[in-house]
Amino acid sequence: MQNAQLPMENKPASSGVPMATSNNVLAKATERGNNDHIRGLLKSFGLRTSLIRLKIIDILRTSTMENRCLGARGVHSQLLEADIPLSFLSVREVLKRLCSVGLVTLNPDKSYSLHPKAMAMLAAGE
């Protein structure tokens, strides 16, 4: 009987941590560092940080910089493309919450954009 902890012949020994797991940890750490300015923005508006808020703000920041308008469905589609499976209703509720604190603006055409004050804060933090 073989000892499962010993490497098999002609095969490298495993560290015990799957490579995908260690890569995900590094990716999350890198992502966290890149989102510090968005985290600070959320905190300044009295909101806690969540992945969905970070992603929605990042999507709205990008669309604003590219002079594109996104409605709730457009934001939802962007999240799905980024492999963040979230219901449309959840996206809409987060957008409503961000609007209620003044971080996001609902435009007359039913599209969303970051408030100019929020854009200025993000630009200053980068």
**pLDDT score of 30 more than 50:** no
At 2-15, the pLDDT tens digits run: 555 555 555 444 44
**Pairs from 105-114 (Cβ < 8 Å, separation ≥ 24):** 107/69, 109/69, 110/71, 110/72, 111/69, 111/70, 111/71, 111/74, 112/60, 112/70, 112/71, 112/72, 112/75, 113/60, 113/63, 113/64, 113/69, 114/57, 114/60, 114/61, 114/64
Q: How confident is the model at residue 17 (pLDDT cuts 50, 70, 90)?
A: very low
Model pLDDT, residue 125: 72
Residue 39 burial (10 A CB sphere; 0-12, 13-18, 19+): middle
pLDDT score of 124: 83
Q: What is the pLDDT of residue 23?
A: 39
Has residue 20 got a pLDDT over 90?
A: no
Q: Which domains does the chain have, with CATH numbers?
A: 20-125 (1.10.10.10)
pLDDT tens digit string along 63-115? 988 988 899 999 999 999 999 989 999 999 999 999 999 999 999 999 999 99
| Predicted TM-score (pTM) of this structure | 0.70
Can you tell me the distance from the alpha carbon of 41 to that of 39, in angstroms, rounded to the nearest whole number?
Answer: 5
